[in-house]
Amino acid sequence: MLKISLSVVIIIILLLLINRFWCSTSGIPPELVSVERIQIEQFNADSINLNVFVTVLNRNNFKIDVSDLYANILHYQDTIGTAKKDEMVQLNALDTAEVNFYAVLNTRKFIKSVSDKSDSLNLRMLGTANADLGLITLPVNIDLEYSFNAKENISQLVEKDVQIENLIKLEGGKLKSLGTSESVVEVEFIVQNPYGVDFKVEGYPSKIFINDKQAGSGNIKTAINIEKKGEGIKAVSVYKLDNVKTITSLFGSIFTRKLIYKTTGILLIDILGYKIQFPYSFKGELIKI
């Protein structure tokens, strides 16, 4: 009789524990709340690699593990890429965490999606993940929307490549002519293609300073078309000097000291369906010819 009573008590306790587990906040799958930001890491003719940062909420009063995240990335009804994270992510009890994962967009579909010239791209992520709650594993539904400022992201990436001379390499500046009626400086540079996509350098309207004095203004001779499989192309930016005082001082210093030039302006580039622009500056020593 005692053994039967103990068995009944144990069964009742187990039922209470199970009921408490299922009826409490324990056993709730985590929620992917929102996309915080998306960053373009690199791109080429085939794919655009993204880093996606998502806020995840754990409503359980214990740690859980999330893994096997996979989602399609849609622009309206068109699937233009995928996102995934195979590595396990541990979420603390009753806490939120920012989780990043890897995503890839199809370059051709991306360019088609931005054909309306809008700076931002409305994206939707649909997919699933697995949440390990200890006793059980539950599926996690993913359905997130995000307005992605693609133009700004591309501009920042290209600007970074320009700054580290991955896109443009300065060849040097030459004092082509010097006189009271007209003086001209030409600055040569090489435009390279680190992306494997067609793009165009549309202009570089800029000012030139010689020995820290503003001397004139100029631009590249013509727009520069860079093909995805092409080699680096040499380009020239031409400046007409219009500061009479500066030109006069050049006559006195041309044989006695170095002539250091600096250009400051806006670099205009058409790439991946966007016309982007950002400040650009370079300097060097003028060669007298």
- Whether pLDDT at 18 is above 70: no
Q: Where are the chain's structural domains?
A: 28-156, 165-288
Q: What predicted TM-score, i.e. pTM, was given to this entire model?
A: 0.81
pLDDT per residue as tens digits for the range 57-95 = 999 999 999 999 999 999 999 999 999 998 999 999 999
pLDDT of residue 270: 96
Is the separation of the CB atoms in 169 and 163 below 8 Å? Answer: no
Report which of residues 285 and 268 the model is more confident about: 268
Mean of pLDDT over the chain? 86
Rounded-to-integer distance, Cα 275 and Cα 270, Å: 4
Superfamily of domain 165-288: Immunoglobulins (2.60.40.10)
- Whether pLDDT at 24 is above 90: no
pLDDT per residue as tens digits for the range 111-134 = 888 876 688 899 999 999 999 988
- Whether pLDDT at 160 is above 70: yes
- HSE (side-chain half, CA atoms, 13 Å) at 8: 5
pLDDT per residue as tens digits for the range 262-275 = 999 999 999 998 99
CATH topology of domain 28-156: Immunoglobulin-like (2.60.40)
Percentage of residues in the chain having pLDDT higher than 70? 84
The band of 182, judged by pLDDT with boundaries at 50, 70 and 90, is: confident
pLDDT per residue as tens digits for the range 148-159 = 999 999 999 999
- Whether pLDDT at 101 is above 60: yes
pLDDT of residue 247: 66
